[in-house]
A and B are shown apart, each in its own frame.
Chain A
Amino acid sequence: MIGLLEEMTQKALDRNIPLSVQLDLTYRCNERCVHCYLDHDDHGEMTTAEIKHLLDEMAEAGVFILTLSGGEIFLRKDFFEILEYARRTLLFCVKLKTNAILVREREAARLRDLGVESIQISIYSHRPEVHDAITLVPGSLKRSLDAVKFLKAQGLRVVLANVLMVQNAQDYRGVRALAEELGVECTLDPTITPMMDGDRGILSLNVDQTALREVFRDQELVGDVDEFCAIAAPADENSLAALPCSAGHTTAYVSPYGEVFPCVQFPLPTGNVRTQRFLDIWRHSDQMNDVRSIRLKDLTTCTSCSHVSNCSRCPGLAYMEGNMRGPSSQDCEKSFVKTGVPSANMIAKKRTAANLVQIRALPATTPATTMAGATA
């Protein structure tokens, strides 16, 4: 299937079709995860009619994979109405992202009837005291794991999504073992992203380099460690002509308020479906076309970096750092941890920091030589 999906993705790319879109139905949530990048107040979510109209427009634009996420999707009272419309009327391939604490046997059976492709459930630890301390909801691990069992019993595909942070850095093996025991898949994401409003405070929850190194050298996770951590081959003309990622090329993100972005992790506003057609935003927005114009050779700093041809650089994280053509420091750190070779961005920052050291305290002088009043 991967080969065929790649083929269809290439076709979508050639024809400028947004093959895959994530639509957040709400930012409201029944958990309060310490690392979450969202503001959970409702600032005027799209109505059921608005969402159905948007889905019509997306189907017309060629969107095939529709990921419904949030916030917590099951907090919307019209969730099943929206899902039924997406599946039965418009035949989207629907994936869900949820904490699943509102999913019981009845909901699981309905998801099976509606033919959902997969359900991704956030699980931070196999230990309740760790998971519940991250979600800030006592009993949430048990509720989520009960839901996994209900969904599995319906024959649905379930994926545990484990975000790694300081609080659970030691638990990813436990989560993987739990997934195996439950007969479900498991993914691990070692990146905490800034809040959508740009606040970078939660980045302090990112795991340190020692923990990251352990993850990148775990054969069960990465396969061939030597290959995964190898230093990239020097970039040639072809690799520099490559696209940085699929954001804005075959994927897009729509917020509960109708705002369209290149990706959920790339908060560059490109238009709003409440006032414009989705396809017009996708095709004609200046911002979307600006994102689309970028090739690796256009990146500042990164073009000269030894990691450029196999860096995980996220343009959205770079944008949140101030320049979508610039480096993403979090990905620089990952490349460094993998290979031991600092990125061009890290070297440049070090140079800048070294220059700043010139502003240093004056050598100690005797009171007689200090300026009047300067006694510190």
Chain B
Amino acid sequence: MARNPRVAARNLDGEMMIMSGRDSTLFTLNKTATILWQSADGKTPLDEIVEQKICGEYEVEPAEALQDAEALARELASHEILLISEEPILQSAPLVGEAR
């Protein structure tokens, strides 16, 4: 899973503002979705991201969290904000730091 390099993105107060590269639709990601997007480096599998970054942060059952994360990842991928593949993805958008 990787951040699509074609998006425009900025992190305002921990909340990602993302514009789809496909049709310029603007999205904001809540804090959980932001964690998911920021962690999508093209190498780390989703279950590992959920276990390390989401279950560690929130009190949630791992299986339930993974199910929610899969649905969210599919939705982000449908807007071409995330790229999903069974194989590692070489090109991932750079990480965007929080605005100061």
Contact = CB atoms under 8 A, between A and B. Distances in A.
B10 A62 contact: yes
Contacts of B71: none
B8 A117 contact: yes
A93 B99 contact: no
A299 B57 CA distance: 50
Nearest to B10: A64
Interface in B1-36: 5-10, 12-13, 17, 19, 21, 24-28
Interface residues of B, number: 22
Contacts of B7: 91, 115
Contacts of B94: 88-91
A89 B13 CA distance: 20
B10 A91 contact: yes
A5 B8 CA distance: 13
Nearest to A3: B26
A166 interface: no
A91 B100 contact: no
B88 interface: no
A187 B10 CA distance: 28
A88 B12 contact: no
A64 B8 contact: yes
Given A62-B12, A91-B93, A115 B6 contact: yes
B96 interface: yes
Contacts of A7: 28
B8 A60 contact: no
B27 A17 contact: no
Interface string B58-98: 00000000000000000000000000000000000110110
Interface of chain B: mostly helix, strand, loop or mixed: loop
B9 A91 contact: yes
Contacts of B5: 88
A311 interface: no
A62 B6 contact: no
Interface residues of A, number: 28
Contacts of A1: 24-26
Nearest to B8: A93
A15 B13 CA distance: 9
A91 B96 contact: yes
Contacts of A5: 26
Contact of A11 (B13, B19, B24, B27): B13
B99 A17 contact: yes
A59 B12 CA distance: 11
A8 B24 contact: no
B28 A8 contact: yes
B26 A12 contact: no
Contact of A60 (B25, B28, B97): B97
Given A1-B25, A94-B8, A61 B99 contact: yes
A84 to B, nearest CB: 11
Given A5-B26, A15-B13, A90-B94, 10 more contacts: A1-B24, A8-B17, A8-B28, A61-B99, A64-B10, A91-B7, A91-B10, A93-B8, A118-B24, A279-B100
